[in-house]
Amino acid sequence: MSQPSTLGELKKSGWESVSVKEEIRRNAIARIGSGDELFPGVLGYEETVLPQLENALLAGHDVIFLGERGQAKTRMIRAMTELLDEWMPIVEGSEINDDPFDPVSKHARDLIDEMGDDTPISWVHRDARFGEKLATPDTSIADLIGEVDPIKVAEGRYLSDELTLHYGLVPRTNRGIFAINELPDLSERIQVGLLNILEERDVQVRGYKIRLPIDVILVASANPEDYTNRGRIITPLKDRFGSQIRTHYPLEVDLEREIAVQEAQVFETGDRQVEVPQFMSEIVATLSHLARESAHVNQRSGVSVRLTVANYETLVAGALRRSLHSGEEHVVPRVSDLGSLVASTAGKVEIETLEEGRDAEIIEHLVRSAVLTVFKDEVDPATHRPVLDAFEEGAVVSAGDDIASDDYMSLLEQIPALEKVLEGLGYSNEQLTQPAMVASGIEFVLEGLHLNKRLNKEAVGGAGVYRSRA
């Protein structure tokens, strides 16, 4: 069935006009009732943030998210558009999505008065019903609300004529969702201009007798630290938001790892197969968690999940670069590839140190700590005891990014106990026959034993030589 194209056809179709909050509420009820996720792809908030957000939407509240960078605030805001109806009718030619049954602008009212049921109707997709503004100190009322257009005045219209208006972002998002990111960065006098939108549901332009009853749901985000650092949210504006929801970083390493795997952009590598062992992705996630606890990292600026994603991508890229140089087709990250994380970490954490140039050293220490933490969690001490026995009997092993994967396969024959350790890491029989996977596992085990002070390690060029401490 085709969509109605005139006001008369729309009336006959049985379409009902509801506010945007009621529309979202109705669709949220339907999705929750059917067991569907309201925000698919948002991980780690199932028991904390999402129930609060669902309550806010069911209550018809405007929402402000408080949280540090990289906590999926913008992602959730943009995902709210999926709770709108897929298509919405407007008076054709309307700049502010006029409801055919309750027109707001003078253009729409005049058109309906003139044409009645023959008034043409257009349909707007829900993706076009979302407006967004990154708050900056130079944001003006004209940007958000609107301004008198001097060109339209020059055409002969009176200043009091509504048709002289050039609508801002908020009116153009009428009957939709408008988001303001980093709200505290908005100057206080501009925040005052939002008061009417949140309470009286209208806008005013330059004091003229122009009242536009705008139907929007307003969603904002803010970093809690910004209340005192860069700006603040004025109390009357905070009071008008129905719900204030705190976001947070992933509480568990496994969850952080899952997010990194989901969000990381790993490019096609032609015929090369990319495979990341779970312990390597856990090291990347653990690094972020340790950074959030480190006294050397400025916690006020936060340690974003973007760090985890960027490090995961860099780790894969480092392994790919190594495989390109060595001619290997199977790309599997190793511990020796972790050195590449210094570059991707340095720009995403603020290191606090009195000594110049210690940034890399501190990051390398965090990487080593992450390897040790994962090693203690994943490797059973009972399985690596026979490996240590082999070293005490004189075994010496070289490992590093310049060692070919095939060379590690011979170590399984030289030190059979290594195979048992790899099986404990979840290696299948097939993976135990893959040189690149074996190389990754052996490097992890050897480095873990070294960091656990069970093996000595001597740096020799790009490699490390492991031997007994005895």
DSSP state of 44: S
Residue span of the structural domain in which 394 resides: 379-470
Split at pLDDT 50, 70, 90, the class of 53 is: very high
40 and 141 housed in the same domain: yes
292 is a domain residue: yes
Average pLDDT, the chain: 87
Determine the average pLDDT of the residues in 402-414. 89
215 and 337 housed in the same domain: no
CB of 90 within 8 A of CB of 124?
Answer: yes
Total residue length of the chain: 470
The pLDDT, as a whole number, for residue 254 is 92
The pLDDT, as a whole number, for residue 63 is 95
1 is a domain residue: no
2 is a domain residue: no
110 is a domain residue: yes
161 is a domain residue: yes
Phi, psi of 108 (to 5 degrees): -70, -40
Please name which of 273, 374, 274 lies closest in space to residue 316, comparing C-alpha atoms.
274
87 is a domain residue: yes
97 and 207 housed in the same domain: yes
Output the domain CATH number for residue 195.
Answer: 3.40.50.300
How far apart (Å, rounded) are the C-alpha atoms in residues 310 and 300?
A: 20
147 and 255 housed in the same domain: no
Output the domain CATH number for residue 424.
Answer: 1.10.10
- 3-state DSSP call for residue 84? coil
345 and 405 housed in the same domain: no
374 and 384 housed in the same domain: no
How far apart (Å, rounded) are the C-alpha atoms in residues 456 and 452?
A: 10
- Which letter, b or e, does each residue of 97-110 get, where b requires 16 or more Cβ atoms within 10 Å of its Cβ? bbbbeebbbebbee
Res. 230: pLDDT tops 80: no
CA atoms within 13 A on the CB side of 102: 10
Split at pLDDT 50, 70, 90, the class of 128 is: very high
CB of 312 within 8 A of CB of 260?
Answer: yes
Determine the average pLDDT of the residues in 344-370. 85
Percent of the chain scoring above 90 in pLDDT: 53
Range of lowest pLDDT (15-19, 125-129, 354-358): 354-358
The pLDDT, as a whole number, for residue 152 is 63
The pLDDT, as a whole number, for residue 290 is 95
How far apart (Å, rounded) are the C-alpha atoms in residues 55 and 242?
A: 11
Beta bridge partners of 458: 465
Res. 401: pLDDT tops 90: no
Res. 151: pLDDT tops 90: no
Res. 228: pLDDT tops 50: no
Split at pLDDT 50, 70, 90, the class of 73 is: very high
Of the three residues 338, 363, 378, the one that is the final residue of a domain is 378
Token pair for 253: 């390493």
Split at pLDDT 50, 70, 90, the class of 252 is: very high
321 and 439 housed in the same domain: no
317 and 339 housed in the same domain: yes
Query: What pLDDT digit, counting tens, does each position of 178-193 carry?
Result: 999 989 888 888 888 8
Of the three residues 378, 397, 421, the one that is the final residue of a domain is 378
The pLDDT, as a whole number, for residue 367 is 94
The pLDDT, as a whole number, for residue 201 is 66
The number of angstroms, rounded, from the C-alpha of 104 to the middle of its chain's C-alpha atoms is 36
Split at pLDDT 50, 70, 90, the class of 330 is: very high
29 and 159 housed in the same domain: yes
319 is a domain residue: yes
Helix (H) or strand (E) holding 131: strand 130-134
Determine the average pLDDT of the residues in 444-453. 94
The pLDDT, as a whole number, for residue 203 is 66
Query: What pLDDT digit, counting tens, does each position of 197-222 carry?
Result: 777 766 666 655 567 788 999 999 98
How far apart (Å, rounded) are the C-alpha atoms in residues 305 and 72?
A: 9
The beta strand positions in 377-439, using DSSP E, are: 397-400
DSSP string, 277-329: -HHHHHHHHHHHHHHTT-TTB-TTS---HHHHHHHHHHHHHHHHHHHHHHT-S
The pLDDT, as a whole number, for residue 143 is 87
The pLDDT, as a whole number, for residue 271 is 79
Measure Cα distances from 422 to 59, 104, 258, 430 in Å.
52, 69, 22, 12
Say what the pTM is: 0.85
32 and 160 housed in the same domain: yes
Q: How many domains does the chain have?
A: 3
Please name which of 426, 401, 397 lies closest in space to residue 412, comparing C-alpha atoms.
397
- Give the residue, 356 or 304, on which the prediction is more confident: 304
Measure Cα distances from 131 to 75, 172, 217, 415 in Å.
14, 8, 10, 62
187 and 278 housed in the same domain: no
Of the three residues 314, 347, 378, the one that is the final residue of a domain is 378
308 and 189 housed in the same domain: no
